[in-house]
Chains A and B, each alone.
Chain A
Amino acid sequence: MTRTLTHLQRLEAESIHIMREVAAEAEKPVMLYSVGKDSAVMLHLARRAFHPSPPPFPLLHVDTTWKFRAMYEMRDRMAAESGMDLLVYQNPEARARGINPFDHGALHTDMWKTEGLKQALDKYGFDVAFGGARRDEEKSRAKERVFSFRSANHRWDPKNQRPELWSLYNARKARGESIRVFPISNWTELDIWQYIHLENIPIVPLYFAALRPTVERDGLILMVDDDRFPLKPGETPVERSVRFRTLGCYPLTGAVESQAATLPEVIQEMLLTTTSERQGRAIDHDQSASMEKKKQEGYF
């Protein structure tokens, strides 16, 4: 009697296979953990891959100090539950200069995230870093490899990537070079949601609709998550029933008005919605092909 594996079982098996290859071949791997739903799935898969051992690598959160408070709570809870070490890195220069998303625009992402990530990898000497990027997120990611090579100064050289055949991954590299590995490359947004539903994976409550204090700016609904949010003259936070489709720095992440308070309702709304996922993220609107450019500079 043959059994037909479901698409989620196949995706799960592939992701686990990729993680085990890294565990076996890398000298010092790390899992980048951004606390979002993709990170939640990636972490869950890592626990599956190595059970009953804890995943044989730490979690690294490259912090900007501007995440939602609920994200910090979830981060600390998941690190404790998984039995993994949690490393939190904040770029000291960005901290000293008080870089923030209100006054510094693109520099905020560049210093806290792109530079912060490079500094953290160099500081700890990690040679392989797992990331939760998916190929369906954006056109330029459709061709990204599962194992993506970075030079000693963290640059992504699109001309020098390796062909990936079958389930064979070439993890060899020279000293100083590093690899970003994307174990959930082949998952789509719907796959992620279905898997979270099926496996009961904890996610940040911000994904569910609730009354939250918000202001509307440049067409984005922003949540006033703490008192660092500078209100403009005449601006008063308004209670709206909102949820978030992606999570990042709270001043940069647009909410959608929604009544979806449970996971099936969120999935329902996602399936019935008519705009693609990244609309709520300011970063992609900067300039065309901006994701490609950020990637070359070392952003995930």
Chain B
Amino acid sequence: MAAEMSPSPSYAADALIAQDIDAYLVKHQHKSLLRFITCGSVDDGKSTLIGRLLYDSKMIFEDQLATLEADSKRVGTQGQEIDFALLVDGLAAEREQGITIDVAYRFFATDRRKFIVADTPGHEQYTRNMVTGASTADLAVILIDARKGMLTQTRRHSYLCHLIGIRNIVLAVNKMDLIGYDRARYEAIVGDYRAFAASIGVTDFTPMPISGFKGDNVTSVSANTPWYCGPSLMAHLETVELDVTADQARPFRMPVQWVNRPNLDFRGFSGLISSGSVKPGDSVRILPSSKTTTVSRIVTLDGDLEEAVAGQSVTLTLADEVDCSRGDVISVADAPPQAADQFEATLVWMADEALLPGRPYWLKLGAQTVTARIQAPKYQVNINTLEHTAAKTLELNAIGVANLSTDKTIVFEPYEANRTLGGFILIDKLTNATVAAGMLHFSLRRAQNVHWQALDVTREHRADLKNQKSAVLWFTGLSGAGKSTIANLVEKRLLRMNRHTFLLDGDNVRHGLNKDLGFTDADRVENVRRVGEVAKLMTDAGLIVITAFISPFRAERDMVRQMMAAGEFVEVHIDTPLSEAEARDVKGLYKKARSGQLKNFTGIDSPYEAPVSPELRIDTTKLTPEQAADLIVEYLIP
């Protein structure tokens, strides 16, 4: 049976291998590398197509073929024939175990190219998986079942491929054998797709009629489709232009990954060239400092290079002693990338925990890692209808557009011009998980127009006049822990010591400055951010600020700590066990929360993240409020 459907034997090696291995090796040293992604579900014949490509390019060994034949008979879906899908569906068992599968990578090669295929199984995590697989792809094969035509998922796949910037799209109309190689049907599908593609901005794509199962137009042009004049899928994959080659035509850029300093006489800058080419003697500019110099050498283990191009990892030495370190970008001098700290970006959310606007995340772009805060999204994209809808946050697999700001200037280019300098990931500061992928569109002009006003009277002048040092006593703890009570006592003691203070109380601030905020996680983040900013202004004014907020999340407390001068932020954990606070229930809130009348109540249905190493921890089960206040004042003014 297998023989009938497989034109080539399972493993017939190139005759040259046996005749002249040296000639074969020379020939195969000059292959290029194409990475591509296949989009479609098992129903579209995706696994069958990948299996067929592996089989036809002789990547299946005899032992694997024997296993495959046995498995095909046992569990295959093709009767007694070989089920190619089994070659790549090694993931079924894992799916049953609930293991997250994002992308599986497969390898095969022909005489001309080596291929890496990103295969993204599963329906649920589709957006996250596909974006991950597509991020490294030069080309996408979008599969359509010829019997079904364009489906919602065809739109979804195409949109995601376009979003991630894949320029080469192949529309593979599959299962042509099942519609009798009907040309009219094929052309109708291609026509439908063309209209849709234009609507999302895809101007060019390559359609082809194939059968992964029978092999039509996969590795060779099929006699069953005499009306089709294009190449086979394999021939197209072997000749399409590579992104890495196209990138050579762009201006030179190399993010510096590592400074190579074996001794005092050598200082090299190592990185992967993201675009353009470089030669010794070229004028270059270091970003963001904007200093210029020239390239002296391109250093490698087997001697210096005369030229290096996009896609190569190199080490450069420079003619002058300019400052240059990890995260900087070396660029051609006369066409440098920009540097900014506020952007508009598209985000693809990849974590179970939704985006918290305002929360600081790590942003990694090239070799730069900075703190970034994302504003509430401008809109979210429905990937099935492509409509824009309003959104306050982004959940797992959501795609949205938002403004973001970074705490330091970063060197960037719009994603569509440079994937390396425009693509970034967001990392949760607590869990260290990668929570989102993003693509920068442009910088916001605001960053360049709002400058800090330098003031003649400094914060030190103001504090000195009050004969004190500015500080923030940041109380955190559960509702009913005793924060306000102890804070009040502390302020009274400080007042008696002629200190200038101000108490910011959670309940009071929510009557005014923050009366527009509720108790969702996002609003809690914003609440703390605003209080932090106010506290900062007050420390600038020379005051000792006392704040009494639940402030349940470590990330925001750390954010405020970062805003203050070193040593100025004193975190005071008013540590009262939940059972104790609930038993006291001074305001009757726990009762309400337990009965479901009050939502998002800290400790009940919203988490409290206790400080790991606060400056002070007050155990209210052992200390009276007065003793606690004494302890805190003594810490501040020893």
A: residues with CB less than 8 A from B are: 2-14, 16-17, 20-21, 23-24, 47-54, 135-136, 139-140, 142-143, 158-168, 170, 172-174, 185-186, 188, 190-191, 194, 197-198, 264-265, 267-268, 271-276, 279, 289
Contacts and interface: CB of A to CB of B under 8 A. Distances in A.
Given A48-B301, A49-B270, A166-B423, A7 B100 contact: no
Given A10-B33, A13-B272, A272-B17, A163 B28 contact: no
Contacts of A186: 105, 107, 116
B149 to A, nearest CB: 31
B106 interface: yes
Given A17-B272, A163-B434, A168-B424, A3 B309 contact: yes
A264 B300 contact: no
Interface string B401-428: 0000000000000000001100111010
A49 B313 contact: yes
B21 A162 contact: no
A49 B432 CA distance: 27
Contact of A194 (B25, B100, B434): B25
Given A2-B309, A136-B107, A276 B64 contact: yes
Contacts of A265: 21
28 contacts: A5-B32, A5-B244, A6-B29, A7-B31, A17-B272, A50-B258, A51-B299, A52-B266, A52-B299, A135-B105, A136-B107, A142-B104, A142-B119, A161-B102, A164-B434, A165-B132, A167-B136, A170-B432, A185-B105, A190-B109, A191-B114, A194-B25, A198-B29, A264-B25, A265-B21, A271-B17, A274-B63, A276-B61
B106 A142 contact: yes
B261 A6 contact: no
Contact of A163 (B25, B261, B437): B437
Interface string B51-82: 00000000001111000000000000000000
Nearest to A190: B109
Q: Tell me if B's interface is mostly helix, strand, loop or mixed.
A: mixed
B62 A274 contact: yes
B390 interface: no
A279 B437 contact: no
Given A166-B420, A186-B105, A190-B109, A21 B31 contact: no
Contacts of A21: 257, 367
B61 A24 contact: no
Given A5-B32, A52-B262, A172-B432, A274 B301 contact: no
Given A6-B29, A194-B29, A168 B106 contact: no
A13 B437 contact: no
Interface stretch (B87-95, B226-234, B374-382, B562-570): B87-95
Given A172-B432, A274-B11, A17 B313 contact: yes
A5 B64 contact: no
Interface in B234-264: 242, 244-245, 248-249, 257-258, 260-262
A143 B103 contact: yes
Contacts of A47: 301
Nearest to A47: B301
Interface string B91-134: 10110001111111111010001101001000000001001100
A41 to B, nearest CB: 14
A249 B330 CA distance: 47
B148 interface: no
B496 interface: no
A273 B64 CA distance: 13
Given A7-B114, A274-B61, A276-B64, A2 B249 contact: yes
A294 to B, nearest CB: 15
B364 A168 contact: yes
A143 B101 contact: yes
Contacts of A3: 248, 309
A207 B169 CA distance: 43
Contacts of A174: 432
Contacts of B109: 7, 188, 190
Nearest to B425: A168
Given A3-B309, A4-B242, A268 B64 contact: no
Contacts of B425: 165, 168, 170
Nearest to B242: A4
Contacts, number: 189
Contact of B350 (A163, A268, A271, A279): A163
Interface of B: 11, 13-14, 17-18, 21-22, 24-25, 28-33, 61-64, 90-91, 93-94, 98-107, 109, 113-114, 116, 119, 128, 131-132, 135-136, 242, 244-245, 248-249, 257-258, 260-262, 266, 268, 270-272, 299-301, 309, 311-313, 315, 326, 350, 362, 364-365, 367, 419-420, 423-425, 427, 432-434, 437
B47 to A, nearest CB: 12
Contacts of B63: 274-276, 279
Nearest to A265: B21
A167 B245 contact: no
Contacts of A24: 257-258, 326, 367
A163 B102 contact: yes
A167 B419 CA distance: 10
Contacts of B31: 6-7
A88 to B, nearest CB: 26
Nearest to A199: B302
A143 B91 contact: yes
Contact of A166 (B104, B107, B114, B135): B135
Contact of B427 (A172, A198, A289): A172
Contacts of B433: 162
B103 A7 contact: no
Contacts of A6: 29-33
A51 B260 CA distance: 8
A194 B155 CA distance: 41
Nearest to B98: A159
Contacts of B32: 4-7, 10
Nearest to B66: A275
Contacts of B100: 158-161
Contact of B437 (A17, A161, A165, A197): A165
Contacts of B268: 52
Nearest to B432: A172
A168 B423 contact: yes
A197 B427 contact: no
A161 B94 CA distance: 14
B62 A275 contact: yes
A95 to B, nearest CB: 36
A16 B313 contact: yes
The 3 closest A-B pairs by CB, nearest first: A139-B90, A274-B62, A16-B313
B25 A275 contact: no
A189 B22 CA distance: 18
A52 B367 CA distance: 21
Given A6-B33, A51-B300, 10 more contacts: A7-B113, A14-B313, A20-B271, A48-B301, A52-B262, A158-B94, A158-B99, A165-B434, A168-B364, A268-B17
A167 B101 CA distance: 19
A172 B362 contact: yes
A142 B114 CA distance: 16
B311 A5 contact: yes
Given A162-B434, A165-B437, A194-B28, A272 B18 contact: yes
B464 to A, nearest CB: 40
Contacts of B365: 168
A280 to B, nearest CB: 12
A20 B312 contact: no
A100 B390 CA distance: 65
A11 B33 contact: yes
Given A24-B257, A50-B260, A13 B313 contact: yes
Nearest to B348: A165
Interface centre among A3, A23, A159 (most CB of B within 10 A): A3
Contacts of A52: 260, 262, 266, 268, 299
A216 B568 CA distance: 75
Nearest to B247: A2
Contacts of A159: 98-100
